[in-house]
Amino acid sequence: MIRDITIGQYVCGNSVLHRLDPRTKILSTVSYIFALFLIDSLWCYVLNFSLILIFYLICGISLKMVLNNVKPILPILILTSIINLCVIRDGEAVFSFWIFSLTDRAIFFTLTIFFRIILLIFSSSLLTYTTLPVDLTRGIEKMIKPLAKIRFPVEEIAMMISIALRFIPTLILEAEKIICAQKSRGFNMETGGFIKRAKCMVPILLPLFVCAFKRADELAVAMESRCYRVGGQRTSYKTLSFKKLDIFFALGFLAVLTMVFMINAFFR
Amino acid sequence: MAIVELEKVSYAYGKSKAAQDEAISDISFKIEEGEYVGIIGHTGSGKSTLIKHLNCILKPTCGKIYIDGVDVWKNKATVAGNRQNVGLVFQYPEYQLFEETVEKDIAFGPKNLGLSADEVRFRVARAIEMVGLSSSLLGKNPFELSGGEKRRVAIAGILAMDPKILVLDEPTVGLDPAGKEKILNIIKYYNRDENRTVVHVTHSMEDIARYADKILIMNGGKILSFDSVEETFKRASMLRSVGLDVPKIYEVFLKLKDKGFDVPLNVYTIQRALEVVKNIVERKVKP
C-alpha cells in the first residue's frame, strides 16, 4: 500500500542525529551523496555502507522502514542491473554463455550503480527520518538566504516547500479514501494495458486534484486571515544555531569522508 | 435467510495481530432482507471499519462474512459480485465525482458492471429521479452544483448500480436541515418502496430514530447492543454510559412520565410527538 512508503517521514527520537542542526545534516548528506558519485572502489562502498548502518544504529531506526522505500524501485534497479550486465562488453570475460558474456568490468559497474542508488535512498531517508520537515525547510531557508540579495524569493520558496511537505500525508489519506470509494463503484485498477491503466487513473486523480485545490484555497484564506503576506518581515519561533555537537559531528564526518577518498585513491 | 451475516469478524489495521490493536473485534450479527439498520457509536468506535467490510474494501483478519448467502472472500468472483450487491456511500461522497457531466458520473458505476448502453441510460434516469433531482441537471458539470445537490448526485451514482444492500456512512453530515431531510427521504424511499436493505451509519440518534427498524450500537470496536429501536431506547442509561443520547423528544417524554403524566414512551420523532400530544389534548377536551 502507498502508506508503507516512508519517504519524507519523521521518526521521533532524541539521538545525536536528531539533535544536530538541520544545516549540518543537510550539508553532510549532500557531501555524502557527492562522495558516493565520486568514489569508484568497491571497498569504499562497503565502507560507506557501514557508515550509514552505524548511523541507523545510533538513531535507533529499524532498517525495515528504509527497505520499504527501496522496494518500489527494486524492479527498475534489477532491470537496469541486468541490462548493464549484458551490455557492457569491455574487460575480461568471467563467464560466457551463448552470445552473452559476463565481464569483470560489467559486474563491477553494475554493483557500483546498485550500491549508489541504494545508498542514495538510505542516506536521504536518514535525513528526513531524523529531521522535522519544519526544521528541514528552515535549514534550507537559512542556507539559501544570501540569494535574497539578488531578489530570489527565499522565504516564499521555503513556505512552499513546508506546505508541500505538510500535505503529503494528507493527500495520501485522501487518495486512499477516493480509491476505496471508486472501488465500491465497481472501479477496477489492475486490469488492461498501459493506456487503459493510465485512463483508469482519472477517477482517482481528478477528485484528488479538486480536493487539493479546495484545500489550497482554504489554506490561503486561513493564512491571509492570520495576516500572512508575501515579503513581510517574520521572526521564527525556533531559531537555528550551531552548537558544539554540530562542530564535532561536521569535523568527524569530514575526516571519515577524507579517509574514504584516500582509500579510494590508493586501493583501486 | 439473512441477507447480511457476520461471523466473529475481527480486523486490525497494519500488520499487527495483537488483540488490543483491533479496530473491531469479534463482531457477529445478522441483518434480514428489507431491514433498515442504523449503526451508531462514537468516533473511533469502529463503525466505518465495520461497514468497509460489507463491501470487501477491507478483508477481515479473522471471521467470515456472508452477503446474500455467499462467503464473500471465497474467490475473486465473489468479491466482484459483492460489490454489485452492496452499494457503499462513503462520507462526503461528493468528493468522488470526476466526470464532466452529471450523467456520465452517475453512469460510472453501472458501466463498470458491464451493462448495455440502453440499460445504463435507463438506470441513470431512474437514479436521478430517485434522488429527487431534475433530469435537466444531467448535462451539467457536477462541479457547478451546490453541496447538497452534489451529494445527491453521488448517492444516485450508487443507486444506479441497483444494490440489494445500501450502506451509507454519515450521509447527512455537513448538510443544512433541508438537504438532510432530502437525503433521509431518499434512504427511506429506497428501503420502503424499493424494499431494499439499508445500513445507515450516523452520529445522530434523531436521524435513525425516524426510519430505522433496528439499531446497532458500537463501542470500542465491539457491539454494545443490537435491538429494535424501542428496546434500544428503553435502555437510555446504557446509552448515556457510553456517551450517546436518546433523541431529545424522547427525553422530553421520559421526563413527562417521571413527573407523573400518563404518556406513551415510544415517541422518537417530532411528528409522532405531535400526534400523541394532539391525542391527549382531544381526550382531555372530549369528556
* Interval A39-80: pLDDT, tens: 888 888 888 889 899 999 988 888 888 888 788 888 888 898
Same domain, yes or no, for B131 and B264?
no
Same domain, yes or no, for B133 and B233?
yes
Question: Which residue from A181, A183, A187 is facing B93, i.e. has the nearest CB?
Answer: A181
Same domain, yes or no, for B137 and B259?
no
Contacts of A206 in chain B (CB under 8 A): 98
**Interchain pair A185, B112: CB under 8 A:** yes
Taking each continuous run of H as one helix and of E as one strand, the counts in chain B are 11, 10
Q: What letter would DSSP give residue B163?
A: -
**Interchain pair B84, A181: CB under 8 A:** no
Whether B101 contacts chain A with CB within 8 A: no
Same domain, yes or no, for B65 and B142?
yes
Instruction: List the end-to-end C-alpha distance of chain B, in Å, as a whole number.
Output: 51
Where do we find the cell 513546508? Answer: A162
pLDDT at residue B16, rounded to an integer: 61
Residue A243 has pLDDT above 50, yes or no: yes
Sign of torsion over alpha carbons B125, B128, B134, B135: negative
As a whole-number percent, the residues of chain A with pLDDT over 90 amount to: 15
Same domain, yes or no, for B173 and B131?
yes
Same domain, yes or no, for B180 and B229?
yes
What CATH number is associated with residue B97?
3.40.50.300
Number of domains observed in the structure of chain B? 2
Whether B113 contacts chain A with CB within 8 A: yes
* Interval A14-39: pLDDT, tens: 888 888 899 999 999 999 999 888 88
Task: Give the residues of chain B that fall short of pLDDT 70.
Answer: 15-20, 285-287
Question: Which residue from A180, A186, A203 is facing B98, i.e. has the nearest CB?
Answer: A203
Residue A2 has pLDDT above 60, yes or no: no
Same domain, yes or no, for B127 and B19?
yes
Same domain, yes or no, for B193 and B279?
no
Q: For residues A210 and B143, is the Cβ–Cβ distance under 8 A?
A: yes
Residue A246 has pLDDT above 70, yes or no: yes
* Interval B66-98: pLDDT, tens: 998 889 888 888 888 888 889 999 988 888 888
Interface mutation vs chain B, best among A177, A184, A189, A205, most B CBs within 10 Å: A184
Q: Which is nearest to B186 in space by CA: B155, B163, B162? A: B155
Contacts of B86 in chain A (CB under 8 A): 184
Which residue of B lies nearest to A211 if distances are taken between CA atoms?
Answer: B95
Q: What is the DSSP string of B47-106?
A: HHHHHHHHTTSS--SEEEEEETTEETTSSHHHHHHHHHHEEEE-SSGGGG--SSSHHHHH
Angle, helix A22-38 to helix A104-130, in steps of 10 degrees: 180
**Residue A203 to chain B, least CA–CA distance (Å):** 6
Angle, helix A42-59 to helix A104-130, in steps of 10 degrees: 20
Q: Going edge to edge, which strands form the sheet with B86-89?
A: B86-89, B165-169, B197-202, B36-41, B214-219, B222-228
Same domain, yes or no, for B149 and B230?
yes
Question: Which residue from A174, A184, A206 is facing B98, i.e. has the nearest CB?
Answer: A206
Q: Which three cell numbers stand for residue B33?
A: 432482507
Q: Which three cell numbers stand for residue A171?
A: 493527500
Pairing of strands B214-219, B36-41: parallel
pLDDT at residue A265, rounded to an integer: 83
* Interval A183-215: pLDDT, tens: 888 887 666 667 777 777 888 888 999 889 999
Angle, helix A104-130 to helix A63-70, in steps of 10 degrees: 120
The CA-atom distances, in angstroms, between A138 and each of A203, A237, B102 are 37, 11, 45
Question: Which residue from A186, A202, A207 is facing B96, i.e. has the nearest CB?
Answer: A207
Angle at B51 between CA B49 and CA B52, to 5 degrees: 65
**Interchain pair A186, B87: CB under 8 A:** no
The CA-atom distances, in angstroms, between A216 and each of A47, A212, B2 are 45, 6, 47
Which residue of A lies nearest to B100 if distances are taken between CA atoms?
Answer: A206
Same domain, yes or no, for B43 and B131?
yes
pLDDT at residue A1, rounded to an integer: 47
Q: For residues A120 and A33, is the Cβ–Cβ distance under 8 A?
A: yes
Same domain, yes or no, for B209 and B145?
yes
pLDDT at residue B43, rounded to an integer: 83
Find the domain containing B107 and state its range: 4-246
**Interchain pair A185, B158: CB under 8 A:** yes
Single pTM value for the model:
0.74
Taking a contact as any Cβ pair under 8 Å apart, which residues of chain B between 151 and 190 contact chain A?
157-158, 161
Global ipTM: 0.81
Q: Which three cell numbers stand for residue A60?
A: 535507533
* Interval A149-161: pLDDT, tens: 888 888 888 888 8
Residue A249 has pLDDT above 70, yes or no: yes
> Other CB atoms closer than 10 Å to residue B66's CB: what's the count?
16
**Interchain pair B109, A203: CB under 8 A:** no
Q: What is the residue-averaged pLDDT of chain A?
A: 84
Q: Which is nearest to B107 in space by CA: B122, B96, B94, B95? A: B122
pLDDT at residue A189, rounded to an integer: 67
How many inter-chain contacts (A to B, CB under 8 Å) are there? Answer: 55
Q: Is A50 helix (H, G, I), strand (E, B) or coil?
A: helix
Contacts of A181 in chain B (CB under 8 A): 88, 90, 93, 95-96
pLDDT at residue B15, rounded to an integer: 67
Same domain, yes or no, for B277 and B237?
no
Interface mutation vs chain B, best among A62, A182, A185, most B CBs within 10 Å: A185
